[in-house]
Amino acid sequence: MAKDPGRVLIFDTTLRDGEQSPGASLNLEEKLAIAQQLARLGVDVIEAGFPFASQGDFLAVQKIAEQVGGEDGPTICGLARASSADIKSCYEAVSPAPKRRIHTFIATSDIHLEHKLRKSRKDVLSIVPEMVSYARSLVDDVEFSCEDAARSDPEFLFEVIQVAIASGAGTINIPDTVGYITPSEFGELISRINNNVPNIDEAILSVHGHNDLGLAVANFLEAVKNGARQLECTINGIGERAGNAALEELVMGLHVRRSYFNPFFGRDSDSPTPLTAVRMDEITKTSRLVSNLTGMVVQPNKAIVGANAFAHESGIHQDGVLKNRLTYEIVDAKTVGLRDNRISLGKLSGRSAVRARMEELGYDLSREDLNEAFARFKDLADRKRDITDRDLEAIVSEQVQQPEARYQLRLVQVSCGNTLRPTATITLANQYGQEETTSAVGTGPVDAVCRALDSLAAVPNELIEFSVKSVTEGIDAMGEVTIRLRGEGKLYSGHSADTDVVVAAAQAYINALNRLVASQAVCSLHPQRDNVDVHPLPSL
């Protein structure tokens, strides 16, 4: 049986696999903000990125390793293909963290070997020990993944895993890369690995899985029953294609049904000891932060973090819940940190009240960031009577999107109505502070704003999605706008909130355009699509 830490380790890959979602690219400040929140959430490992992809990815992993991974904090991990150049770069990026991990991988399925890598099984069996031991010569903590394990020949998989462990891998990860397997098959595969790999007791077994058939969470729970003790997951289930297994669903599944899962950990079924180290009351906040910064809107009926997850609509249900919550509720919303929107601050609140509330919400802002947040707060308080926690969260997430901005929005003015042609006037400043103004006519005020912005920024793009929702209730609520646009074949998203939805739309559009421009300046590799030649080991 594989090593058992006595509970499930949560390996969060929101910043690596999650960031591979179309349109979800994040800047350095945003990655740092998410990593800090993941540390507050209590995940065991943060996969912070793929350092070899680009200079930007490298710097983000390095910053997270410097600022987020403490002695008592999460392990900071980077992804590396089974190549010495990738592994070296990964090592350099994660090295500032006291607890650091290199996660290296190579595909093991025949379909990947033949069509993607153009390598034989024999090649893989010689690359794995060379690369795992190289990684192990740099750090103590090495994870090895057999990409597309779920479609690999199990006998070959056993051989590769045995070799990886013998070369020093302490964690063996079994990915269902294409989301193909079913729960009982996955459980059986994990059990067969446990029974057929002679040195499996020297490693922790981990699983990674995609949601192409909507089975990722169910697959993982079956894997846990068969000895998997690390789950690779993402906040809101974001990730490549249909996404990854959702962290919040796994954690809450293991919590709510712990009496069912406890015996698989050798515990009494009524043991109260948690099965993960996640602080469940941080889940809602983490979900909102990730959604705001990635522009990946959470569907209302999404388990645990969707807007309707705790809403009872039918009269019969409402009546039952009023008599006894347990009639229709298996999770109390407070457990995942969903509070009534506390009306906390207003126009007369001072800086220290804002700072104190921000700290209570878990935002530890630097002096400059607090100054900026306070200015935004004052501006909002002039337009909106009660400032809620959600408003403060919107202010913070707005702020972290700005630092690398190429274009700054200086003025938005629209005229529209049933007898007017919707017209927008926009002033934009470039990175040197030079301003330009133009006007455009559109089918509506938002269309007019986008046309004016397009003619000023002159960055070819196509608007793919525009969505507005209110942050809180009430006529003076802030409207949150998410925009997704396509430029040079890739998706980019932007998000913004304001009491004026037209202003929010203009800012969200600018945020998306800024991302598009920033990504044009770098050439970034994809860990799974871009092939690698196995470089020889650097000579000593």
Binding residues for Zn ion (CB under 5 A): 17
Name which of ligand KIV, Zn ion, none residue 493 binds, using a CB cut-off of 5 to 8 Å depending on partner kind.
none
**Residue 171 touches ligand KIV, criterion: CB under 6 A:** no
DSSP 103-145: EEEEE-SHHHIIIII---HHHHHHHHHHHHHHHHHH-S-EEEE
Q: Which residue is nearest to Zn ion (CB)?
A: 17
The answer to whether residue 143 forms part of the interface with ligand KIV (CB under 6 A) is no
Closer by beta carbon to ligand KIV, 103 or else 136: 103
Nearer to ligand KIV, 175 or 422 (CB): 175
Q: In angstroms, how far is the first alpha carbon of the chain from the final one?
A: 38
Q: Output b/e per residue, 167-189; b: 16+ Cβ within 10 A.
A: bbbbbbbbbbbbbbbebeebbbb
Kindly tell me which of 17 and 47 has the beta carbon lying closer to Zn ion. 17
In whole angstroms, give the CA distance from residue 467 to residue 481: 6
User: Which residue's CB is nearer to ligand KIV, number 50 or number 58?
Assistant: 50
Q: Dihedral through CA 63, CA 64, CA 65, CA 69, nearest 10?
A: 140
Query: Which segments of 197-331 does DSSP mark as H helices, in order?
Result: 216-225, 247-256, 258-261, 283-294, 315-323
Closest CA to 135 of 97, 175, 174, 169: 169
Residue 152 interacts with, from ligand KIV, Zn ion, none (CB under 5-8 Å by kind): none
CB of 346 to Zn ion, least distance (A): 45
For residues 89 and 499, which CB has a smaller minimum distance to ligand KIV in the complex? 89
388: enclosing H helix or E strand: strand 386-388
The H or E element spanning position 163 is helix 154-166
Binding mask 216-255 for ligand KIV (x = CB under 6 A): ----------------------------------------
In three-state secondary structure terms, 495 is strand
Instruction: Report how far residue 23's alpha carbon sits from residue 296's, in angstroms, rounded to the nearest whole number.
Output: 8
Residue 391 contact, options Zn ion, ligand KIV, none, Cβ 5-8 Å cut-off depending on partner type = none
Phi first, then psi: give them for residue 524, nearest 5 degrees: -110, 135
Q: Pick from 99, 208, 302, 451 the residue near ligand KIV by CB under 6 A.
A: 208
Binding status of residue 47 toward ligand KIV by CB under 6 A? no
Closer residue to Zn ion (CB): 17 or 454: 17
Q: What is the closest distance, in whole angstroms, from the C-beta atom of residue 239 to Zn ion in the complex?
A: 6
| C-beta of residue 108 within 8 angstroms of C-beta of residue 127 | no
Distance between CA atoms of residues 526 and 50, nearest Å: 8
Residue 18's binding partner among Zn ion, ligand KIV, none (Cβ under 5 to 8 angstroms by kind) is none
Among 17, 30, 249, 282, binds ligand KIV (CB under 6 A): 17
Nearer to ligand KIV, 148 or 398 (CB): 148
Dist. CA 176–CA 240, nearest whole Å: 12
147 binds ligand KIV (CB under 6 A): yes
Size of the residue set binding ligand KIV (CB under 6 A): 10
Could you tell me the smallest distance in angstroms from the CB atom of residue 157 to Zn ion?
Answer: 17
Sheet containing 423-429, strands listed edge to edge, beginning at the edge strand earlier in sequence: 408-415, 423-429, 435-441
In whole angstroms, the minimum distance from the beta carbon of 106 to ligand KIV comes to: 9
> Does 56 interact with ligand KIV (rule: CB under 6 A)?
no
Contact mark string toward ligand KIV, 500..529, x via CB under 6 A: ---------------------------xx-
Nearer to Zn ion, 174 or 405 (CB): 174
Our CB check for ligand KIV shows the closer of 177 and 397 to be: 177
- Which residue, 328, 478, 314, is CA-closest to 395? 478
CA–CA gap between residue 230 and residue 414 (Å, rounded)? 53
Binding mask 79-118 for ligand KIV (x = CB under 6 A): --------------------------x-------------
Closest-CA residue to 127 (of 105, 152, 111): 105
How many Å apart are CA 83 and CA 318, to the nearest integer? Answer: 58
Considering the rule CB under 6 A, would residue 145 count as an interface residue with ligand KIV?
A: yes
| Separation of alpha carbons 496 and 296, rounded Å | 13
CB of 145 to ligand KIV, least distance (A): 4
CA contacts within 13 A on the Cβ side of 205: 29
Q: Is 411 helix (H, G, I), strand (E, B) or coil?
A: strand
492 binds, among Zn ion, ligand KIV, none (CB under 5 to 8 A by kind): none
CB of 66 to Zn ion, least distance (A): 26
Contact with ligand KIV (CB under 6 A) among 74, 175, 422, 494: 175
Binding site for ligand KIV (CB under 6 A): 17, 105, 145, 147, 175, 177, 208, 210, 527-528
